[in-house]
């Protein structure tokens, strides 16, 4: 797309990639350990309320960790203090893949308008 627009005389476009270089050649073979993770912006449209509610129905040996920037218009870190879903903070881009490998299930309950293929997968 950048090349197309440059040919049209528009050259103030910046590419902000959200994809990562493939770092995993073989996925580790491990037993299911009841570990779930959400990595994205912490906003209602990304399904955080659903994660928090669902977590309360899971047995105590399940782990639900949330990573990403919290939108303070909707939440504070306090929303995670008394529940089973734990807020773990922000990840650097180079930490995403190694963090994902520590979990069994990636949670993607998004109903964000216009969400296509979540960037965390790309």
| pLDDT tens, residue by residue, 18-31 | 655 666 666 667 88
More confident residue, 31 or 116: 31
| Residue boundaries of the structural domains of the chain | 31-122
Per-residue pLDDT, 18: 61
Q: How far apart are the first and last CA of the chain?
A: 18
CATH of domain 31-122: 3.40.50.2000
* pTM score, whole prediction: 0.77
Lowest mean per-residue pLDDT among 85-89, 110-114, 117-121: 117-121
| pLDDT tens, residue by residue, 70-80 | 999 999 888 88
- By CB atoms closer than 10 A (0-12, 13-18, 19+), residue 22 is exposed
């Amino acid at each position: 797309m950048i090349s197309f627009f440059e040919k049209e005389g528009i050259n103030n476009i910046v590419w902000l990639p959200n994809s990562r270089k493939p770092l995993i050649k073989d996925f580790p073979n491990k037993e299911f350990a009841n570990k779930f993770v959400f990595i994205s912006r912490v906003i209602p449209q990304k399904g955080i309320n659903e994660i928090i509610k669902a977590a309360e129905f899971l047995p105590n040996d399940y782990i639900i960790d949330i990573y990403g920037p919290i939108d303070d218009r909707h939440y504070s870190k306090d929303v995670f203090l008394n529940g089973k879903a734990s807020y773990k903070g922000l990840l650097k881009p180079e930490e995403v893949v190694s963090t994902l490998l520590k979990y069994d299930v990636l949670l993607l309950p998004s109903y964000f308008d216009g969400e296509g293929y979540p960037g965390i997968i790309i």
